Amino acid sequence: MILHGFQVRGTQLIVTISNAWEDILCVSQIRKQQNSDYKKKLLFKYEIVELRSIIKNIEKLQSIVFKIIDNTNSETDIHGFISEEQSRILKEGFRNYHSAKNKVETDLLEIRKKIGAHRDSKEIQNIGTLWNKLDPILFAPLLIEIPKLFGSLKNLDIYDWTRIPDENSIEIYTSGLGDFTFSP
């Protein structure tokens, strides 16, 4: 198997982010067609679970990107390049992303942990408060920043879009958020 260290990991992350974002956009379109506030919140709860997955993967990808920018990658098989202009754009993008994320991260984690991916029966009185936080407007700044940052990340020359798992086969990764934008 031929792997290029961080390049394959970076590719896996960018594809995972893209796939989760595609799910958010699909569920968002379904949510917008609903008349019931309950159904809208229920569908947005799923978007929150996917959003948490995206955040975790963006932060892993950020680690890879900054190892390249700072030239601190310990991998011996370094491929790719990030220019000074790309570095400036990425740093600004990550700053904007983290600013938006920090405003909602506590609520996002609590929603995911207590009523999203898991159910917390210990704090039953808190569930109503969490359901009231299932409002796309509250998360809009983060949902707007993610495609902007992704646009800068996906075009970097740091990914290996193929992998050769054995002698007679090749795997090709695909990715892209395209021109999709979030609207509450």
Residue 21 domain-assigned (yes or no): yes
Asked if the structure places residue 183 within a domain, the reply is: no
**Closest C-alpha to 14, from 44, 54, 46:** 54
Whole-number mean pLDDT of the chain? 81
pTM above 0.75, yes or no: yes
Chain segment 43-101, per-residue pLDDT in tens? 999 999 999 999 999 999 999 888 888 776 555 444 567 888 999 999 999 999 999 99
| pLDDT at residue 178 in the model | 45
The CA radius of gyration of the chain, in Å to the nearest whole number, is 18
The residue segments making up the domain with residue 104 are: 5-72+79-172
The CA distance from 166 to 3, in Å, is: 11
d(CA 115, CA 127): 7
Residues above pLDDT 70, as percent of the chain = 74
Does 33 fall in a domain?
yes
Domain count, the chain: 1
End-to-end Cα separation, the chain, in angstroms: 44
pLDDT value, residue 88: 94
Residue 156 lies in a domain: yes
More confident residue, 34 or 12: 34
Say if 91 falls within a structural domain.
yes
